[in-house]
A = this chain, B = another copy of it.
Amino acid sequence: MTVTYSSKVANATFFGFHRLLLRWKGSIYKLLYREFVVFALLYSMLSLVYRWALADPQKRLFEKLSLYCDKYAEQIPVTFVLGFYVTLVVNHWWNKFMNMPWPDRLMVLISSRVHGQDEQGRLLRRTLMRYVNLISLLVFRSISTAVCKRFPTIDHVVEAGFMTPEERKVFENLNSPHFKSWIPAVWFTNLASKAREEGRIQDNVDLQAIVSELNRYRTGCTTLFLYDWVGIPLVYTQVVTLAVYTFFSACIIGRQFLDPTQEYPGHEVDLYVPIFTLLQFFFYSGWLKVAEQLINPFGEDDDDFESNWCIDRNLQVSMMAVDDMHMNLPPMTKDIYWN
């Protein structure tokens, strides 16, 4: 479920964002606490070894190693690599969201321009909308782990009422090795074309408006599929992940508090808890987690898109719009500003 917090920050108030820091659901703490514990444990273990287990000459050697690690940890360009990478991931994620399929544009057209209040007319409008919903369901099944769990086979699609058993037979008989989400689109346009011949769609201007909306809808679905298929190159993700992991490996050694009596510059004080290193862990790992969470928003994270809800909403709303509400208007009365 998406984590919505915009109403909490409607006004810029006194320390306005601090309230956001205290949430658990979808928060950085929930995402990171396990990594944080591992990091803190490793750091502590090394710290204990340095303080208690090592002999003096070993300590001196470790101190040199620590200084060396610290020096190079600062040279790893984590900030930039992450900045550019996260910007890319966020753009992709947002484009995916903007291409989520909503049948609203199609349903207002079909509700008003596919005529006939008899059973045949109702059946026609409902079937058209069912095909529309079927297109997006087929695409969602291939990109969303959540939807895939709910509809693991075509049987489940038929059971849920998105496809009739007859359609299923035809669907499976069509012999193509490729992904078949385009089939209901062909059915849709052919059915619309048939409705045009029967006069249930008045003329070709209406028909083309409907077909062009269908194409727009299907292109949105295809775009989702393409974003899932290709995505951000693996190499880029690996480079960034390596950079962050290396940085923290270097930090575990390089950010140890060294014996202040040795008077290494920058090591005058021994605080035991490396507060700033832990905070840096939160910033950088948190930034990487932003990417990790957004790179596939069709999973089951707290902040992922609710594909299953979207599928249900679209079916319920579109059926109501083209069936119950077809030519079912409230009476027109004068509004209160009349004259």
Considering only CB atoms, which chain B residue lies closest to A331 in the complex? Answer: B166
Which residues of B lie under 8 Å from residue A72 when comparing CB positions? 276
Contact of A242 among B11, B21, B268, B290 (CB under 8 A): B21
Note all chain B residues with C-beta closer than 8 A to A246: 276, 279
Complex Cα distance, B113 from A84, in Å, reads 47
* CA A90 to CA B269, docked complex, whole Å: 42
**Cβ-based interface call for A208 (8 A):** yes
CA gap between A34 and B166 in the complex, in Å: 56
Also in contact, A283 and B243, with CB within 8 A (given A111-B190, A189-B111, A235-B28): yes
- A269 interface neighbour in B65, B171, B282, Cβ under 8 Å: B65
- How far apart are the CA atoms of A35 and B75 in the complex, in Å? 22
* Additional A-B contacts beyond A28-B235, A79-B81 (19; CB < 8 A): A7-B296, A11-B300, A12-B292, A15-B35, A16-B289, A76-B280, A76-B283, A108-B185, A108-B218, A113-B211, A126-B335, A130-B335, A166-B333, A194-B327, A230-B305, A243-B283, A246-B279, A250-B276, A315-B337
Would you call A17 and B237 a contact (CB within 8 A)? yes
Q: Evaluate contact between A290 and B208: CB separation under 8 angstroms.
A: no
Do B320 and A174 have beta carbons less than 8 Å apart? yes
The answer to whether A337 and B319 have CB atoms under 8 Å apart is: yes
Q: Could you say which residues of chain B place their CB within 8 Å of the CB of A192? A: 112
CB within 8 Å for A145 and B10 given contacts A161-B337, A176-B317, A283-B243: yes
Question: A336 — which chain B residues lie within 8 A by C-beta?
Answer: 161
- In A265-307, the 8 Å CB interface with B consists of 266, 268-269, 271, 276, 279-280, 282-283, 286-290, 292-296, 298-301, 303-305
Q: A80-B79, A239-B282, A335-B164 are in contact. Are A12 and B28 (CB under 8 A)?
A: no
C-beta contact mask, A104-136 vs B, less than 8 Å → 1, else 0?
110111011100000000011011001000000
23 contacts between A and B (CB under 8 A): A5-B237, A6-B228, A6-B296, A10-B145, A12-B31, A12-B301, A31-B235, A61-B269, A77-B283, A81-B287, A98-B226, A104-B185, A108-B185, A109-B215, A113-B193, A127-B332, A164-B335, A171-B330, A174-B325, A187-B325, A203-B205, A242-B286, A243-B283
